[in-house]
Chain A
């Protein structure tokens, strides 16, 4: 699920009581109601407002509820719950006038509605104390009476508006994208570079405001303002969002207008602000209301709704009567004469478009707490589609753990240099475009970098017994193809005198065998096949059927305390290897076991596991029980000073003694340097 940055709206307890006269709920009950129905309580604080003790709620508003970024929207939600009528602030009728404000909408397609009106002869006094307190409690600085009233109206209705000082405007006001101007000075004196997609409000000479974002400095209102134009507009929300992001301007205005705000409510917001201005600042209305509303006649689509949908989704009975009551309280128009019902949501509910949206309204008002949660559901049995790779990883982990390896997880973002040092494949590294940290810009091509970082960390802390592994994704590209592979990385840190790579390989080999993977070979690496950090003479490619599936090496002495053995295996490749189920299978025993020795003379320090494997390949899987090294004797006859005699004991099963002996004796002829061993 997407984690998004939460957005909050504040509301006073006294406002709720003012606009819902019948409200008796306590602040606790109100907080609980909002939280459970989708507007989670962020905080509840006791404040002083208008000489009274009050409670200020801060609520996390759902991203799709444009109607809830305002006091009246939150009031409507609560009123529906307590089933009590609301009383919204009344507005005085705007007197008719002959003239219209001088407005041109150049780019109409981005303007969903624009209302505007001119008022002359206002007096900009100090804001009354209650107004100052109000806007500041809601997180907005008090500026002057006009600006405070403008913000107050936005807080109440959710519709941002803007007031221009008309004595500073030259000619007509134009709404346009693709301004001729290069930049604009905003309120707060920041210079903004305009580009071809910015919606501006301009006069004949200069840009005056970024519509949907912020006003400009030139036509701002101040204490000396007398003649004003008020506009309330609703624009294309996508354009507002793109403008806000490209200009890095996020304001109370843009946050509201980038949501899907209902253009129908614009007129009330304008009328409310006009009433407040006339009341607080005086002045006379000096124009007709300019009202551009291309979508006015668009019908709101009727949604067919089966009243059983809510209980079908919730899993608990919900009666049609309950559904109907809830929807009516939420101001939905419901025609319930036939099934499906025909439902028209109120225009401000721009979040409602399908039947499931309506069902959610019903269920959240019935209450999620009415749905029992203590029954483990008996869901249908379905086919298991878990990929093999996932099963293999699940099997590998416990083997590594029991072998003494600690699991680590490291960041897939590393430095480009670390990729160069640790990569062993012939593909390109991927650099991300906007890395969080400018140092770690590359997606890892190998797990070795993360494992080595952990070694460095551990050594710093004085920990030197280090056996670690990581199972994780590595990334690369070939041309325009991006590749991801699941790798297993294994690291064993050793002091200079400890261990040999053979012992480390034994771990890796045993791990693979446990997982049922037997037919793996090692071949010495050639230059170009080794990671840079590998010691040239201790690096092998792990092969299966001519395909490289991994690499095993000793690092160069990168730490003063010692070196590390690293093995890295591509798990995607591993699952292509035929996993030998017989290797783990039980066997039926039909004959007494018989054991014979074989001596093999080979150069000193031969790899005994390779020798054992050599024997193994010559014997039928079903007859072989075990091969073990029982003796190692350095031949000192002077002629061949570097030879060693290795004695293996081979145990045969399910063969008559004679047959086992025949099979064993055949080995003397096929294995170079083999000779008969003593019979036990």
Chain B
């Protein structure tokens, strides 16, 4: 580089530099141990005496100028960062507060759903996790030898009659028996399944059950309720379809699917290439389920639905390992300005 252009090019480059990293690189390039100034000094040594006399002082001046502009820039950058830090400190003082805790993502999702159903006049009920075969299966139209039953899937406290509930419908069978219709009820809860835990399956998961028993309700009411729920959880653009599906406790049965949030229906790994994601089960409460609970199916009708919550939560919070949700490494990021006083 010509000695006369060194300073101008440096100034130009410094003017466009705003980051400390870039500045440090430039400084090294110009006044580092193998920098441009050093190179000129080395070249000077090999020049004839006459030229040394002309270029020597020029180089001296250049060196001083280069160091000066670099120092100026350094100061400017330094005060900028300082200023920024002060700004951020004053913000953090304004915003700082004691630590605020967090809801567990599962509870948070349940609360959001509850909110909607409370607005629609539903009661929230719960029931025992240790259940009897009667309430968990038989009262839901799954007699002992029903093919949908898989004994291997159940965790027993005392086989064959006392078990950990495999579905929140067990709460439904208890509420149906204990309370008189009309009723509108939701019952979120934890259920168990005898399955080895891995990234995508756990022996503990969470269901959101709901049911109504009224003199007259219809599939249209069920679909409308579902749509309201999906819109509350996923926004107005959500697309849901309803297809026929079998569950012993309902007749007719319904499988609600949501258009895949990942591929918007074109097919991807999340939806196993079908464009839709199964969201659970629903249907009109089977007349046998009502009559077993002492409710006259000639006078009352009902609909019921059950959703798995864990997968919704995983999708929403970008959690890839279901075990994270239960006593695993679920981490709660603190608020940004936490504890900064």
Binding site for B on A (CB under 8 A): 1-5, 35-38, 40-41, 43, 62-65, 237-238, 241-242, 245, 258-260, 312-316, 354, 356-357, 359-360, 363-364, 368-369, 371-377, 379-387, 389-390, 394, 397, 400-413, 430, 432-437, 443, 450, 453-454, 457, 461, 463, 465, 467, 469, 473, 475, 482, 484
Contact = CB atoms under 8 A, between A and B. Distances in A.
A384 B124 CA distance: 9
Given A315-B219, A382-B182, A373 B194 contact: no
- Give the residue among A369, A386, A454, A465 with the most B Cβ atoms within 10 A: A386
B148 A2 contact: yes
29 contacts: A2-B140, A2-B142, A2-B249, A35-B243, A43-B272, A63-B246, A63-B248, A312-B216, A313-B219, A354-B251, A357-B251, A360-B252, A368-B243, A372-B224, A376-B227, A377-B220, A382-B123, A384-B121, A385-B175, A390-B126, A397-B111, A407-B103, A407-B107, A408-B327, A410-B327, A433-B155, A436-B197, A454-B327, A463-B331
Nearest to B98: A404
Contacts of A315: 218-221
B260 interface: no
Contacts of A413: 203-204
B308 to A, nearest CB: 7
B305 interface: yes
- Give the residue among A4, A354, A375 with the most B Cβ atoms within 10 A: A4
Interface string B326-341: 1111111010000100
Interface string B101-139: 111101100010010000011011110111000000000
Contact of B219 (A41, A245, A371, A379): A371
B268 interface: no
Interface residues of B, number: 110
A412 B129 contact: yes
Contact of B126 (A63, A387, A453): A387
A311 B218 CA distance: 9
B122 to A, nearest CB: 8
Interface stretch (B3-11, B58-66, B282-290): B282-290
A376 B247 CA distance: 24
Interface in B296-333: 301, 304-306, 308, 325-332
Interface in B118-171: 120-121, 123-126, 128-130, 140, 142, 144-145, 147-148, 150-153, 155-159, 162, 164, 166-167, 169
Interface of B: 98-104, 106-107, 111, 114, 120-121, 123-126, 128-130, 140, 142, 144-145, 147-148, 150-153, 155-159, 162, 164, 166-167, 169, 175, 179, 182-185, 190, 193-197, 203-204, 207, 209, 212, 214-221, 223-228, 240-249, 251-255, 272-274, 280-282, 284, 286-287, 301, 304-306, 308, 325-332, 334, 339
B155 A436 contact: yes
- Give the residue among B224, B228, B325 with the most A Cβ atoms within 10 A: B224
A165 to B, nearest CB: 32
B325 to A, nearest CB: 7
Given A457-B328, A463-B331, A475 B251 contact: no
Nearest to B99: A404
Contacts of A63: 147-148, 246, 248
Contact of A356 (B147, B284, B329): B284
- Give the residue among A258, A379, A436 with the most B Cβ atoms within 10 A: A379
A359 B130 CA distance: 36
A439 B312 CA distance: 29
A15 to B, nearest CB: 22
Contacts of A404: 98-101
- Give the residue among B169, B193, B274 with the most A Cβ atoms within 10 A: B274
A400 B155 CA distance: 33
Given A242-B145, A379-B184, A484-B129, A356 B99 contact: no
Given A36-B244, A380-B182, A356 B125 contact: no
Contacts of A245: 151-152
A649 B129 CA distance: 50
A403 B327 contact: no
Given A387-B126, A403-B101, A368 B331 contact: no
B130 A434 contact: no
B152 to A, nearest CB: 7
Given A313-B284, A450-B327, A484-B128, 9 more contacts: A3-B167, A43-B273, A65-B246, A373-B224, A379-B184, A384-B121, A401-B102, A406-B102, A407-B107
A475 B158 CA distance: 14
B75 to A, nearest CB: 37
Contacts of A389: 126
Contact of B212 (A369, A379, A402): A379
A368 B219 contact: yes
Contacts of B223: 371-373
A518 B39 CA distance: 82
A173 to B, nearest CB: 27
A385 B118 CA distance: 12
B188 to A, nearest CB: 10
A237 B147 contact: yes
B99 A465 contact: yes
Question: Closest 7 interchain pairs by CB?
Answer: A315-B218, A315-B220, A238-B145, A1-B306, A410-B327, A360-B252, A373-B223
B219 A433 contact: no
Given A1-B280, A35-B243, A436 B225 contact: no
Given A2-B140, A368-B254, A382 B284 contact: no
Contacts of B164: 432
A353 to B, nearest CB: 10
A16 B72 CA distance: 83
Given A313-B284, A363-B219, A375-B220, A368 B244 contact: yes
A2 B221 contact: no
A566 to B, nearest CB: 16
Contacts of B219: 313-315, 363, 368, 371
A433 B255 contact: no
Nearest to A389: B126
B145 A2 contact: no
B167 A405 contact: no
Nearest to A473: B129
A380 B183 CA distance: 9
- Give the residue among B99, B158, B245 with the most A Cβ atoms within 10 A: B245
A376 B119 CA distance: 12
A2 B150 CA distance: 10
Contacts of B142: 2
A323 to B, nearest CB: 14
B217 A379 contact: yes
Contacts of A450: 327
A411 B204 contact: yes
B282 A382 contact: no
Contacts of A62: 245-246
A475 B162 CA distance: 14
A277 to B, nearest CB: 31
- Give the residue among B147, B203, B209, B304 with the most A Cβ atoms within 10 A: B147
A407 B102 contact: yes
A1 B139 CA distance: 13
Given A1-B280, A484-B128, A40 B255 contact: yes
Nearest to A401: B101
Given A38-B246, A356-B251, A360-B244, A482 B130 contact: yes
A373 B129 contact: no
